[in-house]
Each structure stands twice: as structure tokens, then as C-alpha cells.
A and B are shown apart, each in its own frame.
Chain A
Amino acid sequence: MENQLNYSTSTQMVPQKKQKRENILFSQKLAPYIFVSPFLISFFVFFLYPSIQTIVMSFQEVLPGETKFIGLQNYKNLLNPHFFAALRNTTVYTIWTLIILIPFPLILAVILNSKVIPGRNLFRSSFFIPALTSTIVAGVIFRLIFGELESAPANTLMRALGLDAQQWTMHWGTGMFLMVFLASWKWLGVNILYFLSGLQNIPKELYESAEMDGAGVFTKFFKITLPLLKPVTVYVLTISIFGGFRMYEESFVFWQNQSPGDIGLTLVGYIYQEGFVNNDMGFGSAIGIVLLVIVLILNLIQLKFTGAFRKE
């Protein structure tokens, strides 16, 4: 195939192009800069400039037509129950997704990686399909399943188990459960695939020689599988933390920015509410900066514990 390509391009191009002027298109020095220019433009316009503006606005009162420097007032205003509810919800949500979306996919991947299980591809695909739905559509379904009525599927199940029917979206604990369950349902299959690809990189001989030394299933899991999956685990951890702190839609589908007692308020939801609903961009920016600092600190911790961010 390579030869073919070479051949076809050379026959077409040689006669006319060879003597032509040395223009920009042929410069190996300039070409890379032209290639990366879309990123640089986008970086400055849609990343760096807004970043700086977020910082600036967080010290301002932004009104239509005029802005006023108000020092740290926006940050002082952060000390309110809504902000703490948002911070708490986002943090608890992230921790729960980590607790569920790392160990379970890992174990399921180990099971699916074992050749004795029939229908492995079918299971793999079934677990993956939820990742294809948008969170909004998934939320539509979850609202039906976890409806308030006693006859809704989840409550039917609760009563079959001898438990009380729940008003799922009315309490902090059950509300958190809905969001975590929705996220777990959606991302389980994706994380399984990450771990499966990690497992496939572990040389079989390691297991064979361990078996010869008389190692059992658990010894092999803890001494070989787990340590060698560390890079994948770190990666999954990173994207899960990232996904957790930017969470918004999982809350939106259940409460649309209006949850009783802020049980569904997240940091991103709070930015949206203050910035767009209450039109207080300065205050919204201050929330954004706090979120930014949290994400940066978590990233730095990550870098520190795992070495540089993925050297190729």
C-alpha cells in the first residue's frame, strides 16, 4: 500500500511541480506553524483570554454596560450555604463515582478477560451501550424508573424487598443516589474497556510462572494484575475526578436548577445559576475560580504521585 501511494503521487507530481517556485507550501520550516495555528488561535481566543477574563471578573461587579472593581467581595460572598451545598454535593458525588467506577469495572474486566466465560463480547457490548446515550435522555428514563408513585419500577422493587417506597428526588441521600447511579450506569462499560485494554498488555508468562510457584487466584490478582494495572487505574482516576467536578447534567435532569434545599446543586450548576439566571457574572466567575483551583490542585497531586503526565 505504501509503495502504491508513493508510485501514484510521484507520477502525478514530478513533471510540473518540481521546477516550481519555492513557495510557502513547500517550506518545511513554516509548514508546522501553519498546521498548529488553529490550535494557537483557539488557545488564545477561547482559552487564555476567557481564563484571564474569569480572573478579572471575579474581582468585579459586572453590570450591563458598566463594571466596577469590588476587590474580594465576590469571594467573601462565597461563604454562604448555597456554595457549601454545591461544594459538598460535587465532592461527595465525585468520591462516590470513584468508589464505584474504579473497583467494579476492574473486577468485571478481570472476569471478562478470562477465556472460560462464554459470550464475553456480548457482555462487553451490553455494558458499553449506556455510554451512547446522552445524560439528558438517560435522565428521562431514570425519572420514569425512579418516579414518585408507588407503582414506579424502582418503588415496586423497594416494596418487593420489604422496604418503603421513596420520593427519590426529595431527599439528599436518595437524590445523591440517583446522580451516582446514573453516572455509574453510564460509565461502567467504558471503564471496563479501559481496564480490559490494560489487562491485555500484561504478559501471560507472568501468570504462568506464578502458577508454577503455586500462586492462587487472589495472590495473582494482588501481586500481578493490580500492580500492572496501575497506569490504567491512574488514568481512570484522573478522568473520573475531572468528570466529577465538572458534573452538571446528572443534576439538571432531575431538578432543572431548582432542587429542594439545594440537594442537587453542583459547582457548575451554581456558576450557571449565578452567571446566567441571576446575571451576576462577577460572582459566577469567583465560583469558577474556586473550581479551577480545586481542579488544578487535584491535577498537581496527580502529577506528583504518578510522575509526569504521560510521557510517551
Chain B
Amino acid sequence: MESTTKRNPVIIAILLLLLIFIAAIALFPFFALLLASFKPSTELLRNGLNLKLQADLLSLKNYVYLFQDGAKYFIWYKNSLIITIGGTILSLLFSSMVGYALAVYDFKGRNAVFILVLAVMMIPMEILMLPLYKLIVFLKIINTYWGVIVPTMVAPVAIFFFRQYALGLPKELLDAARIDGCSEFRIFFKIMVPLMKPAFGAMAILQAMGYWNSFLWPTVVLRTEDMFTLPIGLSGLLTPYGNNYDILISGSLLTILPIIILFIFFQRYFISGLTVGGVKG
């Protein structure tokens, strides 16, 4: 392909225009949200979002309102942070252990366990949400952080990824460490975990994004407003009532902003984390 296009600047120009056009579509909604966050919600509801930069209408009022009266918003923010951080740490711990064992040890039933991992990967959790809800009620973790985290904390996709990664670890290290008298667990935590750092980086992103953005299961588990996460809380503001829209727009922006900033610094991890599976040949 290269040699043909190299000779033809017209084709390159056309392709560039195409790419710019698509990039504009990809980024436009963020621009629209940013603009909307500076406009009074009454204006949004009456005249819709128009893209003119009406200087007289732009103000920081939404943000002022958010920080002054948006107490519930920051409670949702805190809940989202707790679930994201807690869920990510636990799922990384458990998934890496399982994936590592499947890759490194030769034990009876290994293939059976691996097949079960694949089976769970193929079935959407949504199908099971009714009995899972009953189970969460039975376990008395309804309307708690645990209720959201526990059923999702052993993540088959992450297990699969850690297994693939651990298959490439040098086995000689293991034997050397055993000769030195390390326990199997010390080997894992002190030697193997550091070696799997890139895998942890990628999976941390995958899991954290999953928890931060997840909606349906938290909706099922979290019943009271003081336990809501950001997506649940924000979705409750979708009906234009009172000053819902003030919080909705500026709150939505503050929900995605930290992720975009993190993305700028950790692009590599984001990309490998969110494209699990395709990377291997």
C-alpha cells in the first residue's frame, strides 16, 4: 500500500480529510458537553444546546452550584471511588492468582478449571441478575459496596489475560526460588507479581474502567440515594426537573475528566487494558 500512496499526495489529502472528519465526530460530543456546562440549564431546556458561543450566556454558575449544593453528587463520587478502587484491587489480586496458577502449575483439573473460566467469559452476567439479586439479599449485602464488588471480583477476562501473560514468565526463576527456600506464595507475591507489572497495569485500567462506568448491576444492588454511584445518580437526573440539569451537565463532565487526564498520562496501559485479547496473535 505504501509505495502507491507515497506517490500520490491527492490520495493522502483525501485520507487525511476523512480522518479529520471522523476525529471531529469522535471529539465533538466532548466539546458539546464542555460548552453546555457553561450555559444555564434553563437556556438548555428552552432553546436546546446551540453551538454558538454566546458570550453573555456563558458562566461558571453550574460549577458553583455543583460545589455549593451538589452534596449528593460528591457522595456519589465518593461511592464510585470506593467501589472502583476496592473492586479493582480485589479483582487484580484474585484474578492474577488464578491466572498465574493456570499458567505455571501442572495440577489435576487444570484444564477443567480453564474451561470453566472460558465458559463464564461467554455468558453475560445480565442473564443471571435476578437470582444474583436474591443471593445478595440473602447474604445481607444488598445496598452495600460489597454487594457490587463481590460477585464481580473474580473476573474471567482478567484471569485469561494474566494466564496468557504468566505463560511467558521464565520458569527457571521459580525453581531457583524454591531451591532458595521460598514458599509458593512468597514466590508469587515477591517474584512473579513484580514481573507481571505490565499485565497488572493493563488489567487495573480494564477493571477500574469497568467499575467506574458500570451501571446495571450497581443499579440492582444499590437502593438508596446515599449509596448511588455516579452513573446511577446522574441517570436519575435525566428528567429535566428542578435544577437537575445544572448538576447533570457539569457533573457528567467531572465524571469523565479525571479519566481523560489519566488516559493522557497512561495511554499505553489504557490501550492494552481495553483491547484485551486482540493483542495476542
Name A's B-contacting residues (CB within 8 A): 2, 5-6, 9-10, 13-14, 17-18, 20, 25-29, 31-33, 35-36, 38-43, 45-47, 49-51, 53-54, 57, 108, 110-112, 114-118, 123, 125-145, 147-153, 155-156, 185, 188-190, 193-194, 197-198, 201, 207, 211, 216-217, 220-221, 231-232, 235-236, 239, 242, 245-246, 248-249, 252-253, 256, 268, 271-272, 275-276, 281, 284-285, 288, 291-292, 295-296, 299, 309, 312
Partner of B122, one of A28, A185, A256, A295: A295
Inter-chain contacts of A45 with B (CB < 8 A): 135
Inter-chain contacts of B131 with A (CB < 8 A): 49-51, 53-54, 57, 285
Inter-chain contacts of A13 with B (CB < 8 A): 180-182, 186
Structural contact, B271 and A136, CB atoms closer than 8 A: no
Complex Cα distance, B249 from A106, in Å, reads 34
For chain B, the count of residues having a C-beta within 8 Å of the partner chain is 109
Structural contact, A190 and B235, CB atoms closer than 8 A: no
Structural contact, A116 and B32, CB atoms closer than 8 A: no
Complex Cα distance, B129 from A45, in Å, reads 13
- Which of the segments B2-10, B53-61, B63-71 contacts the partner chain? B2-10
B243 contacts partner chain A, Cβ-Cβ < 8 Å: no
Structural contact, A140 and B25, CB atoms closer than 8 A: no
| CB 8 Å contact bits of B176-192 with A (1 = contact, 0 = none) | 11101111111010110
* Chain B facing A: main interface SS: helix
23 residue pairs of the A-B complex, CB under 8 angstroms, read A2-B173, A5-B194, A6-B173, A17-B183, A25-B184, A31-B185, A36-B101, A39-B113, A39-B159, A51-B131, A54-B127, A114-B5, A132-B256, A143-B238, A150-B48, A236-B278, A249-B215, A276-B130, A284-B130, A285-B130, A285-B131, A288-B130, A309-B118
Inter-chain contacts of B275 with A (CB < 8 A): 190, 193-194, 197
Which residue among A110, A125, A220 has the maximum number of chain B CB atoms within 10 Å of its CB?
A: A125
Complex Cα distance, B207 from A244, in Å, reads 20
Inter-chain contacts of B194 with A (CB < 8 A): 5
Complex Cα distance, B20 from A293, in Å, reads 42
Inter-chain contacts of B98 with A (CB < 8 A): 35-36, 38-39
Structural contact, B126 and A268, CB atoms closer than 8 A: yes
> Known interface pairs A140-B252, A194-B275, A288-B127. Does A130 touch B215 (Cβ–Cβ under 8 Å)?
no
B147 CB to closest chain A CB, in angstroms?
11
Query: Quick one: which of B116-170 are within 8 Å of A by CB?
Result: 116-118, 120, 122-124, 126-135, 150-151, 153-154, 159, 164, 167, 170
Structural contact, A50 and B124, CB atoms closer than 8 A: no
B18 contacts partner chain A, Cβ-Cβ < 8 Å: yes
Structural contact, A138 and B29, CB atoms closer than 8 A: yes
Partner of B278, one of A25, A148, A153, A198: A198
Given A26-B184, A31-B101, 4 extra CB contacts under 8 A: A246-B126, A256-B239, A276-B220, A284-B130
Structural contact, B159 and A299, CB atoms closer than 8 A: no
Inter-chain contacts of A123 with B (CB < 8 A): 19, 23
Inter-chain contacts of B44 with A (CB < 8 A): 144
B77 contacts partner chain A, Cβ-Cβ < 8 Å: no
A20 CB to closest chain B CB, in angstroms?
8
